[in-house]
Amino acid sequence: MDYDALLERIAKDIAPLIGSGTPAEYIPALATVDRNRFGMAIAGVDGSVHGVGDWQVPFSAQSITKVFALALALAEGGDSLWERVGREPSGNPFNSLVQLEYENGIPRNPFINAGALVVTDRLQTLTGDASSELLTFLRAESGNPSLAFDAEVAASEQEHGDRNAALAHFMASYGNIDNPVPALLDHYFWQCSIEMTCADLSRAGLFLARHGLRADGSRLLTRSEAKQINAVMLTCGTYDAAGEFAYRVGLPGKSGVGGGIIAVVPGQCVLTVWSPGLDAQGNSVAGVAALDRFTTLTGLSVF
């Protein structure tokens, strides 16, 4: 497949949507990002990487990092994690407090904020330094040793992180948080602040396309665990728009409010798109459209 020509066509087709939507204004450090940016990259399991537009411009990965934290927590600690977080779509906004009270402090899935806090808490217990462990992993899998935290974004999220603090304290009251909440929040905000390019994220996610195998050929996850993460990405990875995303795109995906979306074609490749303008559910408007065009033009999906 001529990925370069395909990416150029997708970029041309969705060009009218670039600039649509609104950047994540509730995180001041993200609110000023140029909404007219657009990048897309495809990394194949054969090691090839192709891109278009701003595919080598770093951006804030935000909630996309939750996929990698989940993989590390499962690799380090096994299936006991699922006793503390569910695997069902939430149907509510990603930072909602409502369901937690109904469900006794057990988050619906690992990709809403409450669930991701539980995953980071588990990874902190297992490793002693959750955010650094994640950064080390992402550097290795992306092949980019210069990946780093963005201190300005982390500080911005910390300053405006009252809702996440409320989620963590509420779960702690049910005994579902093991580490001190302030330390947990620090690791969570640093985790979300990691800057990566579309190329970095596509390479880093290839273990999900390789059924659990890392870039060096070692096994991070069993085939079953890789399948499980892909399944939860499909059903829960784009917040309360997961049904629409599955309908339009038909691939396991995970979005972030930095405007990025990562998507997996098992056995073949990983795609990442980035455009900062978000829809009401927190997903990139142009990014979803680009992934929709990819699966429409190629016929590649899990269905």
Tell me the C-alpha to C-alpha distance, in Å, between residue 293 and each of 100, 103, 180: 36, 38, 45
Q: Which residue in 52, 66, 67, 118 is the catalytic one?
A: 66
> Is 102 annotated in the active site?
no
Q: Which residue in 63, 131, 275, 284 is the catalytic one?
A: 63
Distance, in Å, from the CA atom of 106 to the CA atom of 171, rounded to the nearest integer, reads 7
CA gyration radius, the chain: 18
**CB distance 84 to 122 below 8 Å:** yes
Q: Which residue in 3, 119, 142, 239 is the catalytic one?
A: 239
SS3 assignment for the chain: CCHHHHHHHHHHHHHHHCCCCECCCCCHHHHCCCCCCCEEEEEECCCCEEEEECCCCCEECHHHHHHHHHHHHHHHHHHHHHHCCCCCCCCCCCCCCHHHHHCCCCCCCCCCHHHHHHHHHHHHHHHCCHHHHHHHHHHHHHCCCCCECCHHHHHHHHHCCHHHHHHHHHHHHCCCCCCCHHHHHHHHHHHHCCEECHHHHHHHCHHHHCCCECCCCCECCCHHHHHHHHHHHHHHCCHHHHHHHHHHCCCCEEECCCCEEEEEECCCEEEEEECCCECCCCCEHHHHHHHHHHHHHHCCCCC
Distance, in Å, from the CA atom of 164 to the CA atom of 146, rounded to the nearest integer, reads 28
> Is 188 annotated in the active site?
yes
Q: Which residue in 188, 249, 264, 285 is the catalytic one?
A: 188
HSE-CB of 292 using CA atoms within 13 angstroms: 14
Q: Which residue in 257, 264, 270, 285 is the catalytic one?
A: 257
> Is 67 annotated in the active site?
no
Enzyme catalytic residues: 63, 66, 188, 239, 257
